[in-house]
Amino acid sequence: MPVPSRFSPLSAAGPWPASSLCALVALLTLACETPPADSGESESPGAEADVATTDAATDSTAQEADTAAQEAPDPEAAIIRLDPNDPNLEVWRDRDISNDPPREPGPIRVGSVLTFFGLPMARTIEDLVAGEVEVAFMGAPVDMGVGFRGAGEGPTALRAMRRSTGSMETMISWRRELTAVDYGNAPIDNLSTERSMPPIRRMVREIAETGAIPVIIGGDHSIEFANVAGLADVYGKENVGVIHFDAHYDAGGTRSGHLISHAQPVRRLVDEGHILGRNFIQVGLRGSWPGPEGFEWMRENEFRYHTMAEVDRDGWTTVMQRVLDEANDGPEYLHISFDIDVMDPAYTSGTGTPVPGGLTPREVFPIVRGLCSENNVVGFDLVELNPLVDPGYTTTLNAKQVVDECMTGIALRKLGLGDRDYLSPLTRRDARR
Ligand SMILES: [Mn+2]
């Protein structure tokens, strides 16, 4: 079966025969099974719909196909449910630290082991508290929300980058100014985007509850839902604003029955009431998606959005100042969700859904640094880095720099230098001027 993409909502074979077959087989074989226990956190139905369709089509005869094609599909029966008796059903949800040696809580220096920016590691909430950690990096290696593998390798690629931080623009080394750790990866279910959301959300919440800033390295953009919902759990519904850097608006509706994928986190955050539309600021939209309905939905929900068409008309400097001003005109707490595909594919070929005509590094780095220095940033995510299609590591290098710029901004704010235009007096001009 072809894998549906965000650009081809209907499968090539047409949806009815396959899903009806699936309904028939599912009814015969699975009607007695019960759904898995409720985790107490919101999850979406429909996780296994694609798998059910494939299996049913393989196992059924042509005669059954004729019969099934005439019947209306039963959406419930289209789902092959998880096996609630599998002893491994939930084991992946918790990190196993039972073999860790006994030790005092606190950040652990790990030498040459690869961590984000060479930072010490933290394994438990107690480590974060004892170390008075201000920034905790975590990986969220979700692949399935984009539909093909690669984005899940993003955290590993970023950990493998050179460790230098800071730059001569500010002469600030954030690694010296901030207490930061690598908190490891969130546990995910590689077969289900839906099931991966609650553990990521829980881990973001854990970090935020200690007062630290979670920096989540994806993974595809589905994780924005878990990240922002986790922050809203701690700071309160409607109390967090989001700057969404992306070529795509990611507020798509249901997709082959799925209610979370990398095209849907924004819609879900608004629909569930975590974030008010007017506190969403979209930057960098372009290409063929969404059409008029998507923009009308954003207008109805009072979104602020800045397309590349606006940049073409008014210039980046003007648009950048607008975004920085708007970020100051919102809730006290701010999350930045940075989809690497907001940048032009010239700089970021290593991503799942590149769109020509994007921002340059020269445009992106100052706005990210400015936003992080001028606002009370309580969360940051970097998503859609796919190192498997990143020859030369250009995308990974730029992704690392984006994160670095935000960390520099947070350090500037801590040092009382938090304004959008801060540059070191040493580097902005030489001694003659
Ligand atoms: Mn996105």
**CATH classification at residue 373:** 3.40.800.10
* Residue 139 belongs to a domain: yes
Q: What is the mean pLDDT of the chain?
A: 86
The verdict on 182 and 238 lying in the same domain is yes
Contact by Cβ (8 Å): 119, 182? yes
CA of 195 to the centre of ligand 1 (A): 19
* Residue 164 belongs to a domain: yes
pLDDT in tens, 256-273: 888 999 999 999 999 999
The predicted model scores a pTM of: 0.83
pLDDT in tens, 120-177: 999 999 999 999 999 999 999 999 888 888 999 999 999 999 878 888 999 999 999 9
The verdict on 37 and 124 lying in the same domain is no
CA of 101 to the centre of ligand 1 (A): 40
Residue 264 tokens read as: 């849907």
* Angle in degrees, CA 402, 205, 107, rounded to 5: 70
pLDDT in tens, 18-76: 444 434 434 433 333 333 333 333 333 333 333 333 333 444 455 555 555 566 777 77
* Residue 433 belongs to a domain: no
The verdict on 28 and 126 lying in the same domain is no
CA of 316 to the centre of ligand 1 (A): 21
Distance (Å, whole) CA 114 – CA 118: 6
CA of 345 to the centre of ligand 1 (A): 14
Residue 338 tokens read as: 């940075």
The verdict on 266 and 250 lying in the same domain is yes
Instruction: Give me the pLDDT at residue 68, please.
Output: 52
The verdict on 152 and 79 lying in the same domain is no
* Residue 173 belongs to a domain: yes
Instruction: Give me the pLDDT at residue 67, please.
Output: 55
Q: Give the contacts of 111 (CB within 8 A, at least 6 positions apart).
A: none
Distance (Å, whole) CA 431 – CA 426: 9
Using CB atoms within 10 Å of the CB of residue 109, give its burial: 0 to 12 exposed, 13 to 18 middle, 19+ buried.
exposed
CA of 400 to the centre of ligand 1 (A): 17
* Residue 409 belongs to a domain: yes
The verdict on 51 and 152 lying in the same domain is no
Residue 326 tokens read as: 């708007």
Domain boundary among 27, 60, 89: 89
* Residue 9 belongs to a domain: no
- Per-chain residues with Cβ under 5 A from ion ligand 1: 221, 246, 248, 250, 339
* Residue 431 belongs to a domain: no
The verdict on 22 and 39 lying in the same domain is yes
CA of 252 to the centre of ligand 1 (A): 11
* Residue 328 belongs to a domain: yes
- Count up the domains in the chain and report the number: 2
The verdict on 373 and 267 lying in the same domain is yes
- Prior bond to 290 cis, omega within 30? yes
CA of 422 to the centre of ligand 1 (A): 29
pLDDT in tens, 296-313: 999 999 999 999 999 999
Contact by Cβ (8 Å): 365, 404? no
The verdict on 174 and 41 lying in the same domain is no
pLDDT in tens, 210-245: 999 999 999 999 999 999 999 999 999 999 999 999
- Prior bond to 284 cis, omega within 30? no
CA 298 to chain centre: 20
Domain boundary among 56, 89, 122: 89
Distance (Å, whole) CA 399 – CA 390: 11
CA of 27 to the centre of ligand 1 (A): 36
Domain span at 63: 15-89
pLDDT of 254 above 70? yes
The verdict on 46 and 142 lying in the same domain is no
The verdict on 85 and 213 lying in the same domain is no
The verdict on 74 and 147 lying in the same domain is no
